[in-house]
Amino acid sequence: MGPSDAEVVERCRDGDPVAFERLVRRYAGRAQAVAMGVLADSDEAADVCQDAFVTALERLDGLADPAKFGSWFLSSVRNKAIDVRRSARFRKQVALDDLRPMVSDDEPARDANRAQLRTRLVAALQTLPDREREIVILHDVEGLKHREIAEHLKTPEGTVRYLLSRARGLLRERLDPELLRDLT
Q: Tell me the CB-side half-sphere exposure of residue 49, using CA atoms within 13 A.
A: 23
Mean pLDDT of 38-61: 88
pLDDT attached to residue 90: 31
For residue 85, how many other CB atoms are within 10 A of its CB? 19
Query: What is the topology classification, in CATH, of domain 5-88?
Result: Rna Polymerase Sigma Factor; Chain: A (1.10.1740)
pLDDT band at 87 (very low <50, low <70, confident <90, very high): low
For 103-183, CATH number? 1.10.10.10
| Residue limits of CATH 1.10.10.10 in the chain | 103-183
pLDDT band at 84 (very low <50, low <70, confident <90, very high): confident
Of 174, 177, 158, give the one whose Cα is nearest residue 113. 177
Query: pTM of the full predicted structure?
Result: 0.55
Of 168, 43, 138, give the one whose Cα is nearest residue 97. 43
Mean pLDDT of 123-134: 84
| Residue limits of CATH 1.10.1740.10 in the chain | 5-88
Residue 68 has pLDDT above 60, yes or no: yes
* Dist CA 144 CA 74 (whole Å): 13
CA distances from 86 to 12, 82, 90 (A): 32, 6, 7
